[in-house]
Amino acid sequence: MTVALMWEARAVPGRGEELLAWARAQPLDGTPLRRETLRAPQDRVLVVTWWDAAYDAELPELPEPDTGLVTRAVHRWRFASVAVD
Cβ contacts of residue 67 below 8 Å, gap of 6+? none
Nearest to 30 by CA among 64, 10, 3, 65: 3
Q: State the pLDDT at residue 72.
A: 95
In the chain, % of residues over pLDDT 90: 93
pTM of the model: 0.92
36 phi and psi, to 5 degrees?
-130, 135
Provide the mean pLDDT of the chain: 95
Q: State the pLDDT at residue 22.
A: 98
pLDDT in tens, 20-68: 999 999 999 999 999 999 999 999 999 999 999 999 999 999 999 998 9
